[in-house]
């Protein structure tokens, strides 16, 4: 093991200890890990087949046989809630790093390059951010379909655009420092400056932004399913479950409350983890980005 690898592992370990030592971090990490474990092991833990329908027990109240009751088709709500986050976690868990990678690198390059490419790119980003968030997603998904092969790159692309602004702002602060000017004076290539000087100094900011971007992407994914453009039935998904059960809210509120609580606890866990991570890294999440 090289000295650099050992140093990085020690730093990661110290960061993790600092993260879980904070109450918000401990709660947030516990919630996220609990959801991840449920998504991983729920196929072997669920009490019923998520597709199994029973006409005689539609909208049944919670009981010993069905802890969270049944839906309008007689399917077990607990089973579908336990399985409902699997596809969302897989797709957004892959799409978030992709969004952070391309958006982060684009923002860093713009922060280093400056000039007219920076101005043009940021005005395009401004124009995109002025649109309703879900509108471009709906347009592409309506044209190309709703499968995972469409949802994943679509989410990664559109949720990566706001990352450009964050990465550019972080890069601007680093580019203004003396060690970047010295690297330029020594004739280092732009790629070397990004890799050696800028990227190590903006990684912490991008980590926190990635955690927040993940929570927003989960909300976006669930909103698409709620509108009928995400997971296709009969596969369980929290957004789709809420959409199906809201009609029967007055008769069987547990069909809405259960998936709402599942999605809410995951989003809260991610946000608490992001807040604690920002504190552990000494970052101010309220600071405004450079325009």
Rounded mean pLDDT, 6-28: 83
pLDDT band at 288 (very low <50, low <70, confident <90, very high): very low
More confident residue, 86 or 142: 86
* Tokens linked to 182: 């010295």
Lowest mean pLDDT among 35-49, 142-156, 202-216, 251-265: 142-156
pTM of the model: 0.89
Sequential DSSP letters for 50-76? TT---GGGTTPPP-SSSTT-B-TTS-B
Q: Return d(Cα 32, Cα 233) in angstroms, integer.
A: 26
- The span from the CA of 228 to the CA of 230, in Å, is 6
**Domains of the chain and any CATH numbers:** 3-281 (1.10.3720.10)
- Max distance between CA atoms of the chain, in angstroms, equals 78
Q: Which residue has the tokens 């607990």?
A: 78
- Write down the pLDDT at residue 284: 61
3-class secondary structure, 186: coil
**Cα distance between residue 3 and residue 109, in whole Å:** 29
pLDDT of residue 4: 53
Who contacts 178 (Cβ-Cβ below 8 Å, separation ≥6)?
Answer: none
In this structure, the number of other CB atoms found within 10 A of the CB of residue 157 comes to 17
Say what percent of the chain tops pLDDT 90: 50
User: What pLDDT sits at residue 218?
Assistant: 94
Q: What is the DSSP letter of 289?
A: P
The pLDDT value recorded for residue 3 is 58
Give tens-digit pLDDT for 100-137. Answer: 999 999 999 998 888 888 899 999 999 888 877 777 78
Query: Using one digit for the tens of pLDDT, what is the confidence trace for 54-99?
Result: 888 899 999 998 999 999 899 999 999 999 999 999 999 999 999 9
Burial tier of 4 (Cβ tally within 10 Å: 0-12, 13-18, 19+): exposed
Phi, psi of 122, rounded to the nearest 5 degrees:
-70, -30
pLDDT score of 251: 87
Share of the chain above pLDDT 70, in %: 95
Give Cα 169 to chain centroid, integer Å. 21
């Amino acid at each position: 093991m090289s000295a650099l690898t050992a140093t990085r592992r020690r730093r990661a370990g110290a960061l993790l200890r600092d993260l879980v030592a904070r109450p918000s971090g401990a709660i947030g990490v516990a919630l996220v890990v609990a959801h991840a474990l449920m998504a991983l092991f729920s196929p072997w833990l669920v009490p019923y087949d998520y597709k199994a329908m029973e006409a005689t027990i539609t909208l049944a109240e919670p009981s010993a046989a069905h802890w969270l009751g049944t839906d309008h088709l007689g399917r077990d709500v607990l089973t579908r809630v336990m399985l409902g986050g699997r596809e969302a976690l897989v797709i957004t868990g892959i799409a978030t790093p992709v969004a952070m990678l391309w958006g982060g690198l684009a923002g860093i390059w713009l922060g280093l390059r400056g000039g007219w490419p920076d101005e043009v790119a940021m005005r395009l980003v401004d124009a995109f951010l002025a649109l309703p968030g879900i509108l471009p997603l709906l347009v592409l998904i309506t044209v190309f379909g709703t499968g995972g092969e469409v949802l994943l790159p679509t989410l990664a692309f559109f949720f990566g655009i706001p990352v450009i602004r964050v990465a550019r702002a972080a890069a601007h602060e680093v580019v203004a420092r003396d060690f970047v000017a010295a690297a330029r004076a020594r004739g280092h290539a732009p790629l070397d400056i990004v890799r050696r000087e800028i990227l190590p100094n903006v990684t912490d900011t991008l980590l926190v932004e990635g955690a927040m971007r993940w929570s927003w992407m989960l909300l976006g994914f669930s909103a698409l399913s709620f509108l009928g453009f995400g997971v296709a039935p009969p596969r369980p998904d929290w957004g789709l479950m809420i959409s199906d059960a809201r009609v029967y809210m007055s008769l069987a509120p547990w069909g809405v409350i259960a998936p709402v609580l599942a999605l809410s606890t995951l989003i809260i866990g991610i946000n608490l983890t992001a807040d604690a991570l920002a504190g552990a890294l000494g970052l101010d999440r309220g600071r405004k980005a450079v325009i």
